[in-house]
Amino acid sequence: MRHTLSVLVSNHPGVLTRVSGLFARRGFNIESLSVNSTENPDTSRMTIVVEGDVAALEQIRKQIHKLVEVIKVYDHTEESVVERELALIKVSVETRNRNEIMQITDIFRGKIVDVSDKAFVVEITGSEDKINAIEQLFRPFGIKEIVRTGKIVLARGSKNTE
Partner 1 sequence: MKINGARILIESLRREGVEVIFGYPGGVVLPIYDALYDVEGIRHILVRHEQGAVHAADGYARATGCVGVCLATSGPGACNLVSGIATAHMDSIPLVAITGQVKTTALGKDSFQEADVTGIMMPIVKHNFLVKDVRDLARTVKEAFHIASTGRPGPVVIDLPTDVCSATMEFSYPEKINMPGYKPYYEGHPMQIKNAARLIKKAKQPIILAGGGVVAAGASAELTKLARLTGIPVATSLMGKGVFPEDDPLSLGMLGMHGTAYSNYAVHEADLLIVIGARFDDRVTGRLDTFAPNASVIHIDIDPAEIGKSVAVDVPIVGDARNILQTLLEEVKPMEITAWRERIDEWRRQYPLSYGCDGTDGIKPQAIIETIHRLTEGKAIITTEVGQNQMWAAQFYKASRPRQFISSGGLGTMGYGLPAAIGAQIACPDDIVFDIAGDGSIQMNIQEMATAVSNKLPIKIAILNNGYLGMVRQWQQLFYDRRYSHTDIGYTNPDFIKLAEAYGAMGIRVQTPEEVEPALQRALECTDIPCIIDFIVAREENVMPMIPAGGSIDKMMVD
Name the residues that contact partner 1, by CB under 8 A: 9-10, 13-14, 17-18, 21, 25, 55, 58-59, 62-63, 65-71
| C-alpha to C-alpha distance for 9 and 13, rounded to whole angstroms | 11
Q: Which is nearer to partner 1, 12 or 139 (CB)?
A: 12
CB of 39 to partner 1, least distance (A): 15
Measured in degrees and rounded to the nearest 5, phi and psi for residue 29 equal -100, 120
Q: Which is nearer to partner 1, 10 or 37 (CB)?
A: 10
Q: Which is nearer to partner 1, 47 or 105 (CB)?
A: 47
CB of 19 to partner 1, least distance (A): 11
Kindly report each contact of residues 23-29 with a partner whose C-beta sits within 8 Å and lies 24 or more positions away, as own/partner.
23/48, 23/50, 23/60, 26/59, 26/60, 26/63, 28/52, 28/56, 28/60
The single-letter code of the amino acid at 60 is I
| C-alpha to C-alpha distance for 143 and 146, rounded to whole angstroms | 7
CB of 147 to partner 1, least distance (A): 28
Name the residue among 37, 38, 32 with its Cα closest to residue 4: 32
CB of 81 to partner 1, least distance (A): 23
Q: Which is nearer to partner 1, 65 or 139 (CB)?
A: 65
